[in-house]
Amino acid sequence: MSFSHLLQYDEETTDQLSENFTHIISGIGEEVEREGLIKTPVRAAKAMQFLTQGYGLDAREILRSAMFAEDYSEMVIVKDIELYSLCEHHMLPFFGKAHVAYIPDGYIVGLSKIPRVIDVFARRLQVQERLTDQVLQAIQETLQPLGVAVVIEAHHMCMMMRGVQKQNSVTTTSAFTGAFKSERTRNEFLKLITSDLS
């Protein structure tokens, strides 16, 4: 399944979600039959399926599909990976970037697979803390590297649009395994993800 386009939608799910969105629109006091809203329930139903497509995807299988034996044991970093998810508490978006590193122990993985793993878990109802840990565990369990590091920085619309309404707040979460438990290795990773090497 493509991460950029979800071309086919389950008709039964679309109908069910569309009916639910119709009730929501009516429930907030809007006129469902108004011209601008006539097709909104179906559009919203398809959007919700796209935004939660991660439930039907297997991150570990994605990684296994591009594992290569390689005698390389230095840090591999993919940084500034954009991510978009939905907060499970209010179903409002949170968005930002992820930085992922691992130290191979016999196997490397195609670099495009790491952003795909991010998407698998981000395209679900989430909390940032769990998302960080799920990415870490999928890479650790599949590649079995010497260590994995994940840092996610995100803006949460549930804080920006409602509640405390703080527009410039950024939430940062991190998780580390293996070699990244060492302060020296962890600091090297953190320095590299905050440096502009260009």
CATH code, domain with 33: 1.10.286.10
pLDDT tens digits, residue range 136-173?
A: 999 999 999 999 999 999 999 988 887 776 677 899 99
Rg of the chain's alpha carbons, rounded to an integer?
20
Q: Is residue 160 part of a domain?
A: yes
pLDDT of residue 2: 44
Number of domains in the chain: 2
Is 187 exposed, middle or buried (CB count within 10 Å of its CB: 0-12, 13-18, 19+)? exposed
Q: Which residues are catalytic?
A: 87-90, 128, 156, 158
Residue 68 has pLDDT above 60, yes or no: yes
Whether residues 140 and 166 fall in one domain = yes
Q: Are residues 27 and 118 in the same domain?
A: no
**What's the pLDDT score for residue 7?**
56
Identify whether 1 is part of a domain: no
- Where residue 106 sits, what CATH number does that domain have? 3.30.1130.10
95 and 179 in a single domain? The answer is yes
**24 and 103, same domain (yes or no):** no
- Confirm whether 65 is domain-assigned: yes
State the residue range of the domain holding 34.
11-51
For residues 82 and 88, is the Cβ–Cβ distance under 8 A?
no
Helices (H), ranges, 84-144: 113-122, 128-143
Residue at 30 is within a domain? yes
Within this chain, do residues 34 and 90 fall inside the same structural domain, yes or no?
A: no
